[in-house]
Amino acid sequence: MKVFCGRANPTTGSMEWVEEDEHYDYHQEIARSSYADMLHDKDRNVKYYEGIRAAVSRVKDRGQKALVLDIGTGTGLLSMMAVTAGADFCYAVEVFKPMAEAAVKIVEENGFSDKIKVINKHSTEVTVGPDGDMPCRANILVTELFDTELIGEGALPSYEHAHRHLVQENCEAVPHRATVYAQLVESRRMWSWNKLFPVRVQTGFGEQVIIPPPDLERCAGAPSVCDIQLNQVSPADFTVLSDVLPMFSVDFSKQVSSSAACHSRQFETLASGRAQVVLSWWDIEMDPEGKIKCTMAPFWAHSEPAELQWRDHWMQCVYFLPHEEPVVQGATLCLVAHHDDYCVWYSLQRTSPEDNERSRQMRPVCECQAHLLWNRPRFGEINDQDRTDRYTWALRTVLTPDSICLSVSDGSLLPVLAHHLGAEQVFTIESSAASHKLMKRIFKANHLEDKISIIQKRPELLTSADLGGKKVSLLLGEPFFTTSLLPWHNLYFWYVRTAVDQHLEPGAVVMPQAASLHAMVVEFKDLWRIRSPCGDCEGFDVHIMDDMIQHALDFRESKEAEPHPLWEYPCHGLSKPQQILTFDFQQRVPQQRVCAEGTMELRRPGRSHGAVLWMEYQLAPGSTISTGLLEPAEDKEDCCWNPHCKQAVYFLSPALDPKAPLGRPQTVSYAVEFNPHTGEITMEFRLTDTLEHPSLVKK
């Protein structure tokens, strides 16, 4: 059955009705899930298995039957571990219907159907009694309900309900306990993801400084956690101001509360500086004695750095204090962790929370609009002074004193740069109410409200009256649009350029002048695991899950690239970077398709896990901005990626299976096509021994 879905096309900017399979959302959920990553997490799986064995043994030693409740069973792996460990029966709860159906098949395939009952419900809907889902309460509670923040997937309410209604008092729990840790640091790099810094513009009349509005300075920031691969942040990028502090623990074997709470830890500052950021992670102890521990600690806080387990489903957290505060070495302060049922946040206090009502403060909420419009990478991008200098240099080469400028990008400072560099008049289009309000405040803070005209409408609706009857001589764009997910989605700028063509004077300059799509074949250190088949996990056959993920990918995603911030995922190039397609912004969007076919020679042996794609923009002759590779890729070094942008990764399936033979160096052939009517870029990359090119199926 097909259904019609409305969606905004991020490249063309138009609203479209597209025909989708009724199960399209299910396929997307499975294809983009972390199930493969979890199954490849050897440390997690081994520790859970050890903890389950120990829990079942303790129950058996008391002469009791081992009845297990497994909440969020997924593949059924933990339930199968429990039965193998000697459990008498398991109730495996899974709310996601396709996953529950897969769990039933996996359990049957492994011969455990007589000992495991899969219940396709949310755990809060499970009933206990003669006619219920479970005849009696369980005495072992096994769960994997955690995210990077520990409680973000609703672990606390689920545990609270389970203890009240589904398990016996003082039951065994695996994991038994979780502890959240925090470390206070100063970090200009990470702080730049949360606040707008003064931006310096070098002009012919001296330096101009774009200052943030006061409400941006006062704003506590976005309420959501910033979860990253903290191991990829260099220790040179932050100064440690405190020891690692255990902030709070949750004992899962007892009644758990989802009520809001705060936990404080007094500490002595290790250095003077500015308290800005709290780095946080957690560990789980699988047994009451804490001998079986699984930790998310980054390498500098890990007891055995050499044994560090890579994982993407659990990372580390970066929290921003509401305001930076100066601290002096040796001072005694209190770091306070606050949480409600789903979120954690931090505050720094000079006195004990018992003496300070601020300890019960509410979860931070953005009141300045900037944190709603700009995500963390976008803040970092705007605060990148080198990037600003590149745009300033390019603008100088194309701007004249009589330039009439029109800027089109979401929440961009380009209009301010153009004004300071001497443009006669500057207009900027801000389509959304949020970006309009934000830019209006930024212009006012810099006394530019009468110098830069903001037009709040969609570009295709622009009229001559909006421009005061003037023709545009310089069309500007970074380009950046908040709706863009993949690198080429910012080609929306080309469609805008086409839509406003009638408002451009003859010979008008467009900046960027052109864009190009580039690709390179890479071998990932770890990221390949998220798409790699597992086959066997701790002795259990889970190929059904592999097949399910592959089927979901084959539904569409197997021939699509997906966005990843590759600065967090080390890789090295196996081919030279190659230009695939070019787009001339001086011209209107063409009517005909733009196609390219070719091969990329692999210069060194390795597993060709995928092709990375990115855009480069030619701002002006001799000035280019890359959204991907920043430096030439050396053979033995990790690639250096733009940290403010996500790159696109097209995974090559044959190379994702670690059991497949490595083979000799090959070529990767490609066929890439840009459809100007839909704005879509379709592609296929294929490992080959010959110079054959894959052909694209026309959509």
Q: Which residues are catalytic?
A: 144, 153
Question: Phi first, then psi: what are they for 45, rounded to 5°?
Answer: -65, -45
Closest CA to 30 of 436, 448, 407, 553: 553
Tokens standing for residue 182: 């925090």
Closest CA to 527 of 264, 285, 313, 300: 313
For residue 687, give the H/E element and its range: strand 680-688
Number of Cβ atoms within 10 Å of the Cβ of 593: 13
Place of tokens 């219907």: 97
Q: Where are the beta strands (DSSP E) in 402-498?
A: 404-408, 425-429, 452-455, 472-476
Instruction: Answer yes or no: are the C-beta atoms of 389 and 301 closer than 8 Å.
Output: no
Place of tokens 């001072």: 331
* DSSP 8-state code for residue 458: -
What is the spatial distance between Cα 409 and Cα 429, in angstroms, rounded to a whole number? 7
Instruction: Answer yes or no: are the C-beta atoms of 416 and 452 closer than 8 Å.
Output: yes
For residue 71, give the H/E element and its range: strand 67-71
* DSSP 8-state code for residue 434: H
Q: What is the DSSP string of 612-675?
A: EEEEEEEEETTEEEESSB-S---TTS---B-TTSPEEEEE-GGGG-TTS---S--EEEEEEEEE
Tokens standing for residue 288: 């009451």
Tokens standing for residue 556: 């569409």
User: What is the number of alpha carbons within 13 Å of residue 665 lying toward its C-beta?
Assistant: 12
Q: Which amino acid is at 334?
A: C
Closest CA to 339 of 182, 71, 149: 149
What is the spatial distance between Cα 234 and Cα 414, in angstroms, rounded to a whole number? 30
What is the spatial distance between Cα 456 and Cα 698, in angstroms, rounded to a whole number? 37
Q: Which residues of 24-36 are buried (b: 16+ CB within 10 A; e: fewer)?
A: bebbeebbebebb
